[in-house]
Structure 1
Amino acid sequence: MDAIDLSRLQFALTTGIHWLFVLLTLGLAPLVAVLHTASAAASDPERRARRELQARFWGQLYVVNYALGIVSGLVMEFQLGLNWSGLGEYAGNIVGAPVALEGMVAFFAESTFLGLWIFGWGRLGPRLHAALIWLVALTAYASAYFILVANGFMQHPVGHEVRGGTAYLADLGAVMANPNALVALGHVTAAALVTGGLAMAGVAAYHFARRTPHTAFFRAPLRLGVVVAALACYPLYAVGDVQFRGIAEQQPLKTAVLEGGAEGAAHAPPAWIAVPAETMVALGWVLFFAPLIALVLLPRDLLVRTRPLAWAVVALVPLPFIASVCGWLFREAGRQPWLVYGELAVTDAASPVPAAAVAAVAASLVLFTGVLGALAAADWVIIARLAHRGPDGVRLGAPEPEPAPAPHSVRTP
């Protein structure tokens, strides 16, 4: 493999791993906000306390995923300067601003709101405190939007003019309202809600399958997760269909590969993208019907009382992650050999690396992938342990223990 192949593989692996963090972050944030809002709005003290503990329990899982996801994002962004300097030279005037805005939103606004929410338990008023987690969710989706604006330009370049081999901004509105980015945002939003809903329902179902004594604690989150996933499954399908038709119009060679045409086979190098695309579609049908079936089973409490059904809900948890990674592969790898479609080839976007330095690129591949792989493993292990402990293991927002009284000195005569 040459330096370009190694750079592509490195970015694919690190971005794919980072996306798993992002998907769960986007999916859980609004659900935690709903639970916290229900706590703030409850008038009955017992109900308020239970809703608050639910918000703290799932908020704890969210915080772990968010913190490790931020670190994985930092690792990923280093590669833009290291491996893809040609992209910055050609399209930096266009994609630089949304990438910078994403960094400001994620590392300043979102992190600030989340910090206030984490340390605001028992210190802020209930309504203000609940408003903070909604701001966290809002800024999370704003961050995703700015990234998709940059990515949308690479998929479907609009609103610019090329002078001297460099792209310059000509129409800001066209770049920010790029249909490719907006439709992708809708698809990502629906996918995240299905993911977050099934993750919440899966954790609750896991405890029901193990005959938890905390039935009242997990029943409402189970229902919330199933309802949200069921409501988002049709938009996921509908927006995905719109996105695919847009891709067929903007990048015809990509769809030619799926259709098996001679033109696609001759001109589109990554013919293997048909495999992740078909996997995504197959899993998409499962994710379409499974939440609807679970929704039908909710009124009779069958997911609570029937172990096989509860374990079936648990088994659904990894499916949206697999489908999403397959969709990402289809979206990104399928436009080869272009990095900015029709304008900047991958070979021109890659940083110039002499043959003697290929070993350094290979070393960075191993290092970056190893770091992100370790972060992903740590994330899932910690989340699984916290989820397994249930409400008894909640530490987020727990009152600080009172210091033990100082021992009294005893005087001897």
Structure 2
Amino acid sequence: MEATELARLQFALLAAVHFLFVLLTLGLGPVVAIFNTRWVRAREHRLLVFENATRFWGQLYLVNYALGIAAGIVLELQFGLHFPGLLDVAGEVFGAPLAVETLVAFFLESTLLGLWVFGWHLFPRALHAGIFWAVVLTGYASAFAVMVANGFLRNPLGYVLEGPPDAQVARITDVGALVTNPAALLSGLHVVGACLMAGGFVLVGVSAWHLRRTGSGFRLPTGPDEDLWRHSMRAGIWTGVFGVLLTHGFGYAQFAYYDTDSLDGNAAIAVLFGLMVMIANLTMLAALVLPFLLIGGAMFRMRGRRALYVLLTVLLPLPFVVALMGWLVRELSRQPWIIQGVLRVDEATSDQSSRAVLASLVLLVGLMVTLAVLDWWVLGRLARAGTSRLVLGAAAADVLREDDAGADVLLRFSDAPGPGAAR
């Protein structure tokens, strides 16, 4: 493969894997915020349920968020490595929204998240929940800034090329046109729907796995844990339904500016697009049926519900697969342009050798895949553990367990009187 092809392949793989982190972070955020708010407003008999729901789903959010940061850094390395022409020509236009995302939304979001994590026992519960709502809003603002940058690549607006023909530079002439670009607005709302759909599927899948392990009779099992999984199942279904509606509505709306001719010229893209639409339509049908099973708690009492729980657990990865298909169709159909009609990919790539690009591809993609595998391994362990080992929001002494090596010694040592206690 030529260096340009290897650089394209590296970008496609890194962007695709990184997008998995984004889907789960933005999908779980609103759900954690809602559970946190319900914990603030809950009556005494519901306090433990919503506190545990906030802590459990908040743990998954934090693990995915932390590893997603590392994955994002890996993704940004490649622009300077292999696409210097993009920054030379459109650094001001393409880089401006990314700078906003990094300097404002990203750092503000991280700071607020730190306050939420370490202020668990310091702030009033209402203020604590409000902080996390701010985390969610800044997270979505960060994602929109990225979609503004990506929308410019797809449908360049609000700019002008200046300078000699062989060294032209893009300058922003209309910030409003750049921000309200339909490739940014419609695609951004489409991505929001995809994230909510993914978050909903995760809630439904994990809750179904735990509900399947409870009793098989018609009497509804009681207890804080069972109540938590039923609330999570309801939240997941409604989140997924809302996400599916957004995804479908704004997905089809993109056809107004989408170049469908590219689908005819590439069989692989056409197959991906058709498969993506078919799965998305099946997901839409499921979204129309599942809410009816919540009426009167029918899902939790019906015959064959354990088989339904198995199916819902198995379908957990589906929105991530569909999202990857959509992202590949969106990016591959723009080729050979890196900025549609303005700059070709081969004009923007560096003059490095194929061997150098291949080395960076193996290193960076290997690192990104390692982060993704580690992320899903940790998330899987936390999801299976349920509420038995909640660390987020726990007092320091509650984190230690007698079954840990040396934990009992640490506990006895912490209870021992210090020097001068006798006096």
TM-score (norm 1): 0.91
**3-state SS, counterpart of residue 338 of structure 2:** strand
Amino acid at match of 1:406: A
- Is 1:369 matched up with 2:354? no
Amino acid at match of 1:171: D
Deviation of 1:407 (Å)? 5.8
Amino acid at match of 2:366: G
Deviation of 1:405 (Å)? 2.1
Residue 192 of structure 2 contacts residue 246 of structure 2 at CA under 8 Å; is this kept in 1?
no
Q: Look up the match of 1:76.
A: 75
Deviation of 1:328 (Å)? 0.4
Amino acid at match of 1:223: R
- Is 1:138 matched up with 2:155? no
Deviation of 1:352 (Å)? 2.0
**3-state SS, counterpart of residue 335 of structure 1:** coil
Superposition pairs for residues 364-403 of structure 1, below 5 Å? 364-401=360-397
Q: Look up the match of 1:26.
A: 26
TM-score (norm 2): 0.89
Amino acid at match of 1:108: F
- Is 1:256 matched up with 2:255? no
Deviation of 1:245 (Å)? 2.8
Q: Look up the match of 1:283.
A: 279
Deviation of 1:310 (Å)? 1.0
- Is 1:219 matched up with 2:230? yes
**3-state SS, counterpart of residue 393 of structure 1:** coil
**3-state SS, counterpart of residue 392 of structure 1:** coil
Q: Distance in 2 between matches of 1:31 and 1:235?
A: 17
Q: Distance in 1 between matches of 2:109 and 2:175?
A: 24
Q: Look up the match of 1:35.
A: 35
Q: Look up the match of 2:416.
A: 406
Deviation of 1:236 (Å)? 1.6
Q: Look up the match of 1:331.
A: 330
**3-state SS, counterpart of residue 257 of structure 2:** helix
Q: Distance in 1 between matches of 2:418 and 2:17?
A: 56
Between stretches 211-220 and 7-16, larger displacement belongs to: 211-220
> Which portions of structure 1, spanning 4 or more consecutive aligned residues, are displaced by more than 4 angstroms?
none
**3-state SS, counterpart of residue 401 of structure 1:** helix
Deviation of 1:385 (Å)? 0.5
Q: 1:193 aligns with which of 193, 196, 199?
A: 196
Q: Distance in 2 between matches of 1:142 and 1:369?
A: 27
Residue 38 of structure 2 contacts residue 50 of structure 2 at CA under 8 Å; is this kept in 1?
yes
Residue 106 of structure 2 contacts residue 139 of structure 2 at CA under 8 Å; is this kept in 1?
no
Q: Distance in 1 between matches of 2:393 and 2:275?
A: 41
Q: Distance in 2 between matches of 1:97 and 1:175?
A: 10
**3-state SS, counterpart of residue 336 of structure 1:** coil
Deviation of 1:229 (Å)? 1.2
Q: Distance in 1 between matches of 2:178 and 2:58?
A: 35
Q: Give 5+ residue unaligned stretches, structure 1.
A: none
Q: 1:167 aligns with which of 164, 167, 170?
A: 170
Residue 153 of structure 2 contacts residue 338 of structure 2 at CA under 8 Å; is this kept in 1?
yes
Task: Map Cα deviations across residues 108-144 of structure 1 (whole Å, 9 max, x no partner).
Answer: 1010111111112111101110011111110111011
**3-state SS, counterpart of residue 158 of structure 1:** coil
Residue 205 of structure 1 contacts residue 304 of structure 1 at CA under 8 Å; is this kept in 2?
no
Structure 1 residues 2 and 120: CA distance shift in structure 2, 3 A: same
Residue 97 of structure 2 contacts residue 145 of structure 2 at CA under 8 Å; is this kept in 1?
yes
Q: Look up the match of 1:240.
A: 251
Deviation of 1:394 (Å)? 1.1
Amino acid at match of 1:292: L
- Alpha-carbon RMSD across the aligned residues, in angstroms, is 1.6
Residue 193 of structure 2 contacts residue 242 of structure 2 at CA under 8 Å; is this kept in 1?
no
Counting matched residue pairs gives: 390
Deviation of 1:390 (Å)? 0.6
Q: Give 5+ residue unaligned stretches, structure 2.
A: 216-222, 399-410
Q: Distance in 1 between matches of 2:334 and 2:39?
A: 47
Q: Distance in 2 between matches of 1:199 and 1:221?
A: 10
Q: Distance in 2 between matches of 1:21 and 1:294?
A: 26
Q: Look up the match of 1:340.
A: 339
Q: Look up the match of 2:313.
A: 314
Q: 1:228 aligns with which of 239, 259, 262?
A: 239
Residue 205 of structure 1 contacts residue 303 of structure 1 at CA under 8 Å; is this kept in 2?
no
Task: Map Cα deviations across residues 245-277 of structure 1 (whole Å, 9 max, x no partner).
Answer: 321xxx3xxx1243x4xxxx3xxxx44211221
Structure 1 residues 408 and 82: CA distance shift in structure 2, 3 A: closer
Q: Distance in 2 between matches of 1:385 and 1:48?
A: 25
Q: Distance in 2 between matches of 1:12 and 1:275?
A: 18
**3-state SS, counterpart of residue 301 of structure 1:** helix
Q: Distance in 2 between matches of 1:68 and 1:232?
A: 24
Q: Distance in 1 between matches of 2:8 and 2:26?
A: 26
- Is 1:178 matched up with 2:189? no
**3-state SS, counterpart of residue 161 of structure 1:** strand
Q: Distance in 2 between matches of 1:275 and 1:191?
A: 20
Amino acid at match of 1:371: L
**3-state SS, counterpart of residue 171 of structure 2:** strand
Residue 106 of structure 2 contacts residue 142 of structure 2 at CA under 8 Å; is this kept in 1?
no
Structure 1 residues 374 and 106: CA distance shift in structure 2, 3 A: farther
Residue 2 of structure 2 contacts residue 354 of structure 2 at CA under 8 Å; is this kept in 1?
yes
Structure 1 residues 106 and 377: CA distance shift in structure 2, 3 A: farther
Q: Distance in 1 between matches of 2:106 and 2:157?
A: 28
Q: Distance in 2 between matches of 1:167 and 1:274?
A: 32
Deviation of 1:408 (Å)? 8.6
